[in-house]
Structure 1
């Protein structure tokens, strides 16, 4: 699966040496990187759902991935040229404050 990062904090975590600029804790950064590795390895959406450690759930309009107890990642999944693509829209705290 291909990933497109639209959230500037996630982009900072993906870029080597820029994670500190994201303002996220080390625990959130570590968990986010692990989740991104799982997403990249997934061949389809059903695999995302079956991978319990990913904590993926899908609503009618978007997918949600729990990064940890306090942070959630909002994603959109589409198919382009026969390949699945996940757009990472944003990460937000469960308190409702967008990151």
Structure 2
């Protein structure tokens, strides 16, 4: 709330602009999304492995993947497959 109040005051003074949804999202991310968050999440995804049920792995993988913008489908398929237990990987292939 404090961030928005300050930003809104700056907009009213004419010292800052947010003209598009994209500009708003970028400004919001700069304020609240740490610079290393994406790198940390990519490392988490790389370490993720199928240990319990397949359903649990799919959920954790999906939740983690949603935190990484611009992750290609090809990269996602490789990471998902790479983390599977051997029997599941063979079944998938």
TM-score by length of 1: 0.25
Which has the bigger relative contact order, CA under 8 A and spacing at least 6?
Answer: 1
